[in-house]
Structure 1
């Protein structure tokens, strides 16, 4: 592996090369110094190209005082393909480039840093001229790093993997920031309670205020996505409610909290997809005040799913749901958690204003009866007594959607749903179609338990 640094020998590029050489020394990697002659056309001005080669050789001599192995290589033009061919991509551990100081043609408005990040063969560190990153690389201080985390996006895994690498190099204080839409989160979690503005802090009395229950769920989801971060430095979760472009909100947090490095994962979209969806990473890279690291999806480590310690069981009070409860209990084992959920399918006359903290309540007069029946479903054997149980009765138009929303609120590892080929005359019995919909739509693993 190698640290690759692209330079045009400007003052900005020299600072980035110093950071690259210092990191190469800390990591014990060679430094590949790619000279980019962005002033010289591909087929003209050989004298100027020769002068650039001399400048690159002198820069390599300077950097060898910082790290052991420096290989200079001069390239014509600023084509990304000429910079990062197959050989370079295979060997690249990190690509370091100055965020500023690059010339762009009239027809190409993106900087070299943006084009390298879009190429996506390795993490790209776009360095701006401040001393924080260099002092951290020299082991003199901790670095304030903001990492964009979306609990439901695979790009977060790549960014978190890179963050782990940073904390192995040196101490990092982490701001794990999630830009969330309050309305979308309430819908995802099935929370229909009106937001009581008078209970919010004066600074949060806007349409972007987060419901306390939503906030608790999001904090848990972000921390679960982060996992255990080894290394020195504190870790703080920042929830940033907002609408519009996520990049703008990430930049706001980075500025407000004085983040010295922003780490974002990337979707490698191209062409029309990039124009339609936009790019959070490119927005951050283009407008950030400090250094930015853009991490392609190929960097992420494979996620290892631990054995399930919590399960949700939809209960319709049939034999099938009893067997699903027993299966869930045996899977989570002693100390695990099982959540029993009964969904009452709303009829037309029962629809009314949604005013309940979480989801709609059971119809009047039935809620207490349903909760008592749910508690009666809890097994009484010794294994079950070592399991933590909770129950919930909700109402909804779509049973499968209500179950999916409950899995998000409860943060369970698994859904156990019982099915039976035998029709039982029970109100609100789960149909086989519900199990099929759960398999298709639920973000959690679904175990379908057939009854004997």
Structure 2
């Protein structure tokens, strides 16, 4: 797979060619130089002259004979139609210098990235990139991560490719909304802000419980990166455009490169929803790599190591507990969750900082009942058990939020064909709602 370098024909400087040549030499791949007359007509005379200029430029790169080829293209569409360009290992392009028409805001790097032409490197500060590719320095890379986004998975996966080129120190940066994170995890703040501690009154401050969960999720998404260099997780709380917050981290930490994932979208969606990758490409002071989500590798399915079991103290939930413990195996974890359904007129739920617990008068007794359900045999002692009691009006939502907080691999729900009159019995409809709403797999254990 070739390294493709797309350069504007009328540009005075072509530092991106030097970057592409260093990359091709480092990876041992052939180099394809593509000269693009973007926005201007390309006559036969201009095409022949441009071809000669490209070939002369290729000779000055001092790459092995036969490793460099040159082509001239009239516009972006002609570049995209090239089979070798669409299936390249990297696409290297200049961030500036494209003479696009006034109505077309997107530069050629953005249009190439939008159409999934491999990872697109938009070159700024070429000296840092060349020195890194030639083994003279380490690279500080900011990568945009999001545990809920497949485009972020593609960006994280590309870090392995970067470390094949040279050593990289990685700042895995998650731009998160504190309000949305608290809602997803079921961690609430009081209605009266003055109840909060002074250090937590800032609306952009992350709750310590939320921060602990987000750090765990980002570390799981990044995983173990082979190669030389450190990995640091950066949580950047804020509101508004995520691209601005990501670039703030890159600027304040002195990053050399920003890596973001990109999803192919139609023009209406891009105009209405915006694009993090487009904002980073247009406004970054550093080089940027856009990785299309088509390069996202699905995660390998692994046997569950942690299971959440909703408990209503019925025979059905006992069957679910037995099923859960048999699936996780020694060293696994089973989390027992009881959801107290809040009923109309029920008192005792004052403003609470954190997940709403069981009613105070029932809290200790409920936790003890949950611990009493834990088997005492030798096999059960090889597992890790945890219990939790929460309150909520929407049982399915409370279970979904608990799966996010605990980071479990599976939900194991027992159902009974006979309606129960117990106050907190799980109705059959909860199973259907969980299958539709939960991001984790749901196993339904039917009545025997």
Contact 2:419 2:427 in 1 (8 A): no
Contact 2:87 2:117 in 1 (8 A): no
**Partner in structure 2 of residue 82 of structure 1:** 78
Secondary structure of the residue aligned to 1:139 is coil
State how far apart, in whole Å, the 1-side matches of 2:53 and 2:269 are.
40
State how far apart, in whole Å, the 1-side matches of 2:431 and 2:65 are.
59
1:65/1:349 CA distance change after superposition, 3 Å:
same
1:437 is displaced (CA, Å) by 0.5
Is 1:442 the counterpart of 2:438 in the alignment?
yes
State how far apart, in whole Å, the 2-side matches of 1:428 and 1:330 are.
26
State how far apart, in whole Å, the 2-side matches of 1:73 and 1:104 are.
20
1:445/1:399 CA distance change after superposition, 3 Å:
same
Is 1:4 the counterpart of 2:4 in the alignment?
yes
State how far apart, in whole Å, the 2-side matches of 1:93 and 1:161 are.
14
**Partner in structure 1 of residue 422 of structure 2:** 426
Contact 1:12 1:100 in 2 (8 A): no
Structure 1, 8-17 or 136-145: larger mean CA deviation: 8-17
Match of 1:320 among 316, 320, 327: 316
Which aligned pairs between 1:203-218 and structure 2 lie closer than 5 A? 206-218=202-214
1:56 is displaced (CA, Å) by 1.0
Which aligned pairs between 1:127-142 and structure 2 lie closer than 5 A? 127-142=123-138
1:364 is displaced (CA, Å) by 2.9
Match of 2:344 among 344, 348, 353: 348
Any stretches of 5+ residues in structure 1 without a counterpart? none
1:243/1:353 CA distance change after superposition, 3 Å:
farther
1:10 is displaced (CA, Å) by 6.1
Contact 2:10 2:37 in 1 (8 A): no
Q: TM-score, normalised by structure 2?
A: 0.95
Contact 1:318 1:426 in 2 (8 A): no
The C-alpha deviation readout for 1:258-294, integer Å capped at 9, x for no partner, is 1110000011111211111111000000000010000
**Partner in structure 2 of residue 21 of structure 1:** 21
State how far apart, in whole Å, the 1-side matches of 2:348 and 2:100 are.
60
Any stretches of 5+ residues in structure 2 without a counterpart? none
**Partner in structure 2 of residue 59 of structure 1:** 57
Match of 2:243 among 240, 247, 272: 247
**Partner in structure 2 of residue 105 of structure 1:** 101
Q: TM-score, normalised by structure 1?
A: 0.94
CA RMSD in angstroms, aligned pairs only: 1.9
The C-alpha deviation readout for 1:244-271, integer Å capped at 9, x for no partner, is 1101111111111111100000111112
State how far apart, in whole Å, the 1-side matches of 2:45 and 2:86 are.
33
**Partner in structure 2 of residue 285 of structure 1:** 281
Secondary structure of the residue aligned to 2:334 is strand
1:342 is displaced (CA, Å) by 0.3
Which aligned pairs between 1:402-413 and structure 2 lie closer than 5 A? 402-413=398-409
**Partner in structure 2 of residue 177 of structure 1:** 173
Contact 1:179 1:242 in 2 (8 A): yes
State how far apart, in whole Å, the 2-side matches of 1:65 and 1:223 are.
40
**Partner in structure 2 of residue 70 of structure 1:** 68
Is 1:94 the counterpart of 2:107 in the alignment?
no
Count, aligned residues: 445
**Partner in structure 2 of residue 264 of structure 1:** 260
